[in-house]
Amino acid sequence: MNAESVANHFQVPGRLVALQPIGAGNVNDTYRVIFRTTFSEEQFILQRINQAVFKDPVAVMANMKAVTDHAHRRIEAEADQADRIWQLPRVIPAKDGRDYTVDGKGHYWRALSMIASSTNYEKVNEPEHAAEAGRVLGYFQRIISDFPAGELADTLPGFHIAPGYLGKYDRVLASEGAQERLFAVSEARRLAKFVEQRRGFVSVLEDAKERGELHLRPIHGDPKITNVMIDDFTGKGTAIVDLDTVKPGLIHYDFGDAVRSGCNPAGEETSDLSEVYLDLDLFSALVRGYLTEAREFLTESDKKYLYDSVRLIAFELGLRFYTDYLAGDVYFKINYEAQNLNRARVQFALCESIEAREGKMRGILEKYC
Ligand code: GN1
Ligand code: MG
C-alpha cells in the first residue's frame, strides 16, 4: 500500500492535499502530509517504521504513547511557570483506535502531530543554538525523569551498549566481504587501527552501571541536533522529536549524543575532516543549557561520567557506521557509495578532537555542575 492511502487511515479531518517525503533520518521513511477541510488545514508527520531495525513496532508505539502522555501532562502542569511554550509530538490514533496502522504488506505506519512554527537544523554554528539544544534535552529528560523506566519495553536490545557494538564489529570484521573492503581501501584500514587503540575504554559506562554507580532511566535515545526544533518566532528550543528510541537507558547516552552532534560545527555528513572538531564555545553553551534543567535530577556519579559519555558516544557512532560499511550497508540508509565509511571518519575525527580537549571539557563541566 502506498503512503497516500495509508494517510487516510488516521483520525485527521478533511482530505489529502499533499504528501511530501522528508529526506531526514537514517532509519525510517518520513513524509509531511497536508489535509484540508473547507475552513482549515492540518499538517502531520507520517512514518513507516523500519522493521529491520525495530522488530516490535507495537512496543515502540506503546513506549511512545506512554511517555508522551506523561510528558504532555507535565508540560501542561508547568505551563504557567515556563519561559516558553514547550511542545512535543502527539501520537495521532488510527481510525480503528490503534496507535498505528498496518498496510497490506505488513508494514507498520504511524502518524504524529507537527511541531508548530519551528525549524530543525543540520548544523550548529552559534552558541545560542547549542544552548537551546542542551536545554531541550535537559527539559525532556527532566519531565520524564519521574516516569518508571521499568514500564517501558526494551524496543532495541543492545542500543547504545558499546561493548556489544564492539563484539558485532569483531564478527563483521572476520567476514569475507569486510576483508575485501579492508584490502581495497586504505582509509578503511586506518579506521581499523583507530578502533584497536580504544578497545579498553569502550565499557566505561556499562562498567559503571554494573558497579551500581549509574542507573537505568527513561531516555530519548537519539537527541541529535536535527531532532531539536527551534521556534521560528523566539529562536528558543520548543520541542524534541523522533521519539522511537525512547526506552530505558543511561541519560549519558543522550548527553553524549547531544554533544557529539551539537558541538561539531561541520555536522555528520561533511567530507572535509579538517572542519571536524569539538567546539568548546558550543560545548560550554550546550552544557549551560542542559544543566539549567538537569541539575535537579543528576546525581554526583552521573556528573562524573559526563565527559566519558561524550568521548564514548562519538566513538560508538563511528564504530556503528564503520561496521555497517564493512557489512555492506545493511542498517543505515546511504545515498552514495562509501557514505557510511565517510560518516565513520567524521565521528572518529571528532572523537580524537574530544580526547585532545579532555582537560578543558572537564573544566567546563565542573564550572556548570
Ligand atoms: C539514526 O534515524 P535517525 O537518523 O534518527 C540512529 C541513531 C544515530 C543517528 C545518526 C535507531 O538515527 O542512533 O545516532 O542515525 N538511530 C537508530 O545520524 O539506530
Ligand atoms: Mg531516530
**CA 151, CA 155: separation in Å to the nearest integer?**
12
**Residue where the block lists cell 482549515:** 40
Q: Which three cell numbers stand for residue 118?
A: 519551528
Q: Is the CB of 324 under 6 A from ligand 1?
A: no
Q: 234-263: per-residue pLDDT in tens?
A: 999 999 999 999 999 999 999 999 999 999
Sign of CA dihedral 67, 294, 135, 307: negative
Question: Under 8 Å CB-to-CB from 7, ≥6 apart: which residues?
Answer: 16, 19, 31, 33, 35, 46, 111
Q: Is the CB of 25 under 6 A from ligand 1?
A: yes
With a cut of 50, list the residues of the chain below it in pLDDT: none
Q: 57-66: per-residue pLDDT in tens?
A: 999 999 999 9
Name the residue ranges covered by the structural domains of the chain.
1-113, 115-369
Q: 263-316: per-residue pLDDT in tens?
A: 999 999 999 999 999 999 999 999 999 999 999 999 999 999 999 999 999 999
Q: Is the CB of 224 under 6 A from ligand 1?
A: yes
Q: Which three cell numbers stand for residue 23?
A: 529526506
**Tell me, what's the pLDDT at 1?**
62
pTM value surpassing 0.75: yes
**Tell me, what's the pLDDT at 27?**
85
Query: Hey, do 1-113 and 115-369 end up sharing a CATH topology, with the first three levels equal?
Result: no
Looking at ligand 1, which atom is closest to the CA of residue 24? 4
Among 22, 26, 270, 342, residue to substitute to test ligand 1 (most atoms within 8 Å of Cβ): 26
**Tell me, what's the pLDDT at 23?**
74
Q: Which three cell numbers stand for residue 152?
A: 517501558
Query: Per CATH, the architecture of 1-113 is what?
Result: 2-Layer Sandwich (3.30)
Which residue from 211, 212, 292, 209 is spatially nearest to 249, judged by alpha carbons? 209
Residues that place a CB less than 5 A from ion ligand 2? 222, 242
Helix axes 162-173, 186-196, angle to 10 degrees: 140
**What superfamily in CATH does domain 115-369 come from?**
Aminoglycoside phosphotransferase (APH), C-terminal lobe (3.90.1200.10)
**CA 230, CA 211: separation in Å to the nearest integer?**
38
